[in-house]
Every structure is written in structure tokens, then in C-alpha cells.
Amino acid sequence: MGTAAGASAIQCRGEKIVNLDNVRVVLVGPLYGGNVGSVCRAMANMGLSDLAIVPERSLNMDEARMMACHATDILESRSTHTTLKEAVEDCGVVMGTSARTGLYRQHAKTPREWAPTVLADTSRGRVALVFGREDKGLTNEELSVCSRIIQIPTSDSYTSLNLSQAVMVCCYEIFVAADLYEPPIEKSPLAPTAFRERMFDIWRALLLMIGFMGDDKCDHMMQGFRRVMGRGAVTEDDVRIMIGVARQAEWAAEHLQESLKAEGDKGEKAEQ
């Protein structure tokens, strides 16, 4: 099964033009095929498809395919290069990622801080996100090719993320900033007061019937019940469910009483 590679190409949301196809993930000297596969999956999840690799050793491609899961098309369509400079030669902006602080890294910003800038740049050219080797990261020479540095915030006690997780965090921030995701919306309208009051009446009758409360405590208990039901915005679907539960409980209580009575009558007859 393929991914939706390219599906997020150029999308307009209001004034904003976002071209996620112009974001290239560049892996320099990855050691493990599994990580490369996981990178493909992360990219597909976040709407990216352009993967470039600067290989330094042969990768375990079975492992890569396994971890790529439904994103093998990104793996198969990757470009390979002999140097980082070659991998980014057509990119207008090159952003390096590093877990380390210090020399050449003082201007580092988080993926969240960089994301709006990256998106703005994608409407005018290609942006490369460069990731280093699992064991040694990027060399200073490679970092010098990058005009911007991304640092993912972490605990001081362990600052280095797994390669594919670092890719995921960066791609996720770009995707979220692109505002392409449409969250699910509640379709059921808010329940109007009259409908909610009907539900309270039905529950009031039920709670009295099953002896949960007596007439004396009724108003007090119903205040509590109303408080529970009023914590969120109650929808028409919510009210329908609550009325359904009450109706069923009423029915069960009546039938239970009838069957208990029938059992009792049977017992009495047997004793006679």
C-alpha cells in the first residue's frame, strides 16, 4: 500500500500557501536500516515525501522496509548522494539538527520556533532538514553548510534523541504549523434546555422508583445529578443516551419486580 506522497503538495488555508513537497529530509551517514525505515514512516505521517541520503555504509534494507511499513514508496524513491553539499545543492535553505550545544550552535532554535519560518520558505524554494549519524551526529564541517540550527528541547540528563524520533519531532512541528489537520468536530448539536429538563424528569422518576432517593432527599439529589450532567456541554446525543439508559433501567426494574413476585408466589404455593 502506498502513502499519500505528494498529497499535501500545495495547500492554501486562508492567505497561507504551504508546500510540504518542498521540505527535504536529508540523512547523513545513517547506520541502521531500521531507523531509515522509521524516518520514512514519520515523514509519511507528517505529509512529507522527499528523502535524501548520504550513505556511508550499506544499509539493511529488509529492516528499513519493515520499519517503513506503509511508507516504502518514500524509501524506494529516496535520492542518494556522495556528499551533503550535493544532497542540498538545489535547496534555498539548509537547516541542521544537533543535540549538542556550544560551538557554531548558539543561534539554535527549537523546531516549534523554526516551523513558521520553514513554512514561509517552502512557498519560495526547497528547504532541507539535515540529520546526522546515530553515533556521531553531524561534523562541524557539515554543520557549516547549514545556515540554521534546530535543537529539540530535552532533559539535560540525555539530550540525544533516536534519529527517527528527532525527524518525527521536526516534521510534526512543521505539519502542525501548516494547519493542514482538521480535528474531528462534534456533530451533535447542544441539547436545548427543554430536552435536558425532560431528561432530568425521567431520571428523577427513575431514581425515585428504584429507591435511590426518597421524596425528602429528591431535590437535593437532583441538584447533584444536574451538577454532574452540567460539567460539560451536553449534546442532543448525550441526552438521548441518558434517556435511553433511564428507560431501560425503568423497564428492568419493573420486570425484576414482576419476576421476584412470581418467584415468591411459586414458593408460597409449594409450601402450602
| Residue ranges binding ligand SAH (CB under 6 A) | 97-100, 131-132, 134, 136-138, 150-152, 154, 159-161, 163, 166
Q: Please report how close the Cβ of residue 119 comes to ligand SAH at its closest, in angstroms.
A: 19
Residue 88 to residue 145: CA distance in whole angstroms: 9
Looking at beta carbons only, is 174 or 207 nearer to ligand SAH?
174
CA–chain centroid gap for 185, Å, is 15
Please identify the residue of the shown chain whose CB is closest to the bound ligand SAH.
Answer: 137
Looking at beta carbons only, is 95 or 199 nearer to ligand SAH?
95
Q: Please report how close the Cβ of residue 171 comes to ligand SAH at its closest, in angstroms.
A: 12
CA–chain centroid gap for 131, Å, is 23
Residue 43 cell numbers, joined = 515523514
The strand ranges marked E within the chain are 10-13, 16-19, 23-28, 50-54, 79-80, 93-97, 127-131, 148-150
Q: Please report how close the Cβ of residue 110 comes to ligand SAH at its closest, in angstroms.
A: 9
Burial class (CB in 10 A: 0-12, 13-18, 19+), 174: buried
Looking at beta carbons only, is 130 or 242 nearer to ligand SAH?
130
Q: Please report how close the Cβ of residue 93 comes to ligand SAH at its closest, in angstroms.
A: 16
Q: Residue 63: name the closest of 92, 34, 102, 25 by CA.
A: 34
Q: Please report how close the Cβ of residue 135 comes to ligand SAH at its closest, in angstroms.
A: 6
Q: Please report how close the Cβ of residue 152 comes to ligand SAH at its closest, in angstroms.
A: 4
Residue 225 to residue 250: CA distance in whole angstroms: 17
Q: Please report how close the Cβ of residue 169 comes to ligand SAH at its closest, in angstroms.
A: 8
Which ranges of 23-138 would DSSP assign to H, the alpha helix?
A: 33-45, 61-68, 72-76, 84-87, 111-122
Looking at beta carbons only, is 134 or 236 nearer to ligand SAH?
134
93 backbone dihedrals φ, ψ, rounded to 5°: -135, 135
Number of Cβ atoms within 10 Å of the Cβ of 189: 10
Looking at beta carbons only, is 11 or 160 nearer to ligand SAH?
160
Report how far apart, in Å, the C-alpha atoms of 218 and of each of 14, 203, 214, 221 are. 54, 11, 6, 5
Looking at beta carbons only, is 34 or 207 nearer to ligand SAH?
34
Residue 263 to residue 267: CA distance in whole angstroms: 6
Looking at beta carbons only, is 115 or 202 nearer to ligand SAH?
115
